[in-house]
Amino acid sequence: MELVARFYVTDAGNDPVRDWFKALSKTDKVAMGKAVQRVQIGWPVGRPLCGSLGDGLYEVRQDLSDNRTGRVLFCFTGKSQIVLLHAFIKKTQKIPPAEIDLARKRMKGGRP
């Protein structure tokens, strides 16, 4: 079963994850998009592409140009739908707690 991916939208109508994708170079946008698509088509997907951050929050990882790594944090909102909550370029070994906290806050808001 293929998962449907939705972008998180703020109460003000902003679309932060879609905006993040738009800001990427074409090469990085394609790579990150394919990573999300592999999750949609092949769920469950394990490491190194995808991992659980606990309590229903997951991450998609993708190497990008210039030795950077992109992350998209998502959750399930049903059996076959995921919401892309937050995206960022990872700059440290561990995911900064603020990135996870923001995704969890959006997850609790439940606005796909």
User: In the chain, what are the domain boundaries?
Assistant: 4-109
Handedness of CA 4, 74, 63, 25 (dihedral sign): positive
Of the candidates 96, 76, 99, 91, which has an alpha carbon nearest to the alpha carbon of residue 17? 99
Report the share of the chain in percent with pLDDT over 90.
Answer: 88
| pTM, to two decimals | 0.93
Is the pLDDT confidence value at 111 over 70?
no
Whether the per-residue pLDDT at 105 is higher than 80: the answer is yes
Residue 71 pLDDT grade (very low, low, confident, very high; cuts 50, 70, 90): very high
- Is residue 65 over pLDDT 70? yes
**Inter-CA distances, 14 with 24, 27, 46, 61, 70, Å:** 17, 24, 31, 23, 21
In this predicted structure, the answer to whether residue 112 has a pLDDT above a threshold of 70 is no
Whole-number CA gyration radius for the chain: 13
Distance separating alpha carbons of residues 97 and 85, to the nearest angstrom: 15
